[in-house]
Amino acid sequence: MSGVTPISPFASAKLGPITLRNRVIKSATFEGVVPDSLVTQELIDYHRKVAAGGTGMNTVAYLAVSPDGRPNGECLYQRDEVIPGLRKLTDAIHAEGAKASVQIGHAGLVANSKSNGVTGFGPSRRFNPLSFSFTPAAKESDIERVIEDFAKTALCAEQGGFDAVEVHLGHNYLLSSFLAPGLNDRQDKWGGSLENRARLSRECLRSVREAVGGRLAIVAKLNMVDAIPGGLKIDESLEVAKMIEADGTLDALVLTGGSSYGNPMFLFKGDGPRKDFAAHLPPFLRLGFKLVGKKFMPDLPFEEAYFESMARRYLDELDLPVILLGGINRLDTIEKAIADGYAFVQMGRALLREPDLLLKMQEGSQPDGICIHCNRCMPSIYTGTRCVLIDPDPIQTSGPVA
């Protein structure tokens, strides 16, 4: 025995200016219950249930920084009209003893312009297979606007009662795609060298920090690897993390990987839910998906805490608090992560499958989650995100809360 008392994952912990009741955060899993881009009772119920299950903080997914920054039209975006609903949502999460965070971002190349009714932009012109159209390259004025929009969105989150924001720097959403040499062909100060490719992420974080720093906790979700040809690789990602650490704009960094644009299964591991996904595609895309589905959405071997070996490099080389994410299902994994020095863990599917899992772990009645990583919840984002093994039926929404 070393005589050092291990830190309990279920003891309270500071995250920048706020204190969470424990070290487990519900990761952002797009809820798919806001057809009018306004908060609904179903969104509130979803988060109330998870908070009542014992999380330290819930991450609401997702508040786009502008209408064109939504992955699709049925997604919250920053504006005055959304604030009263956000207040009700955060009140419900707080009433259960958890803190509330919201993921903020711009979907960039992953935004479906047809569904949004407005065209967005990426670092360079690229094809979007979901809208079957090209996303143009951002103009300088678009870039200036998006940096301001991140500040506005952080302020909107604060007015909506959130305790934290999570800036999306992953999954080849806009800021992540600027980091990727194979997606960013720009010749100006936003492309080329790593310093240039990282500029937009750093500027957006600076803008968020200036808006709400010291009052709200600021977290970023950064890709370690995009796992696509020409994608960001771990050595460069680690350099970006060091630049961000030196900027002093973040309170913690959560590490992820994969690409909603080109390699979605890398985010999750486990079974590729091709059949469920195809069912949500328009008929003309369904045929194409039949041909390429196995390549785009393969089955990948799942293992507990599958990102840990990559995340460890950041833990070793940064002073910034690091949050471990990816395939965490067991109490012993959580305990080991905290003992190893991760500040927090984030959990997604395990809490979709069992919103009360943390309570069961704390009581000692169940140390392991029962999610089977079938990923059939993933396409349920189009019909109300849920574990379809428990709730096969789509969620009917009742309209925006008054």
Ligand X SMILES: Cc1cc2nc3c(=O)[nH]c(=O)nc-3n(C[C@H](O)[C@H](O)[C@H](O)COP(=O)(O)O)c2cc1C
Q: Which residues are catalytic?
A: 173
Name 192's Cβ contacts closer than 8 Å, sequence gap at least 6: 186
Told to check if 50 binds ligand SF4 by CB under 6 A, we report no
Q: Cα(135)–Cα(300) distance, rounded to whole angstroms?
A: 29
User: Which stretches within 63-133 are classed as H helix?
Assistant: 83-95, 113-116
User: Which stretches within 100-193 are classed as H helix?
Assistant: 113-116, 140-159, 174-179
Q: Judged by CB under 6 A, which of 104, 325, 345, 374 binds ligand SF4?
A: 374
HSE-CB of 75 using CA atoms within 13 angstroms:
31
Task: Write the binding mask 321 to 360 for ligand SF4: x where contact by CB under 6 A, - elsewhere.
Answer: ----------------------------x--xx-------
Choice between 71 and 122, CB closer to ligand X: 71
- Of 22-30, 88-96, 127-135, 243-251: span binding ligand X (CB under 6 A): 22-30
Touching ligand X, residues 213-272 (CB under 6 A): 221, 256, 267-268
Q: Judged by CB under 6 A, which of 375, 379, 384, 400 binds ligand SF4?
A: 375
CB 281 within 8 A of CB 114: no
Smallest distance, ligand SF4 to C-beta of residue 45, A: 17
Name 238's Cβ contacts closer than 8 Å, sequence gap at least 6: 224, 313, 314, 317
Find out whether the peptide bond into 62 is cis, omega within 30 degrees of 0: yes
Told to check if 381 binds ligand SF4 by CB under 6 A, we report no
Choice between 191 and 261, CB closer to ligand X: 261
Task: Write the binding mask 308 to 347 for ligand X: x where contact by CB under 6 A, - elsewhere.
Answer: -----------------xxxx------------------x
Told to check if 138 binds ligand X by CB under 6 A, we report no
Q: Judged by CB under 6 A, which of 51, 338, 377, 381 binds ligand SF4?
A: 377
Helix pair 140-159, 83-95: axis angle to 10 deg: 50
Told to check if 78 binds ligand X by CB under 6 A, we report no
Q: Pick from ligand X, ligand SF4, none: which does 209 bind, CB < 5 to 8 A by kind? A: none
Smallest distance, ligand SF4 to C-beta of residue 332, A: 19
- Which residues bind to ligand X, rule: CB under 6 A? 27-30, 61-62, 103, 168, 170-171, 221, 256, 267-268, 325-328, 347-350, 377-378, 381, 385
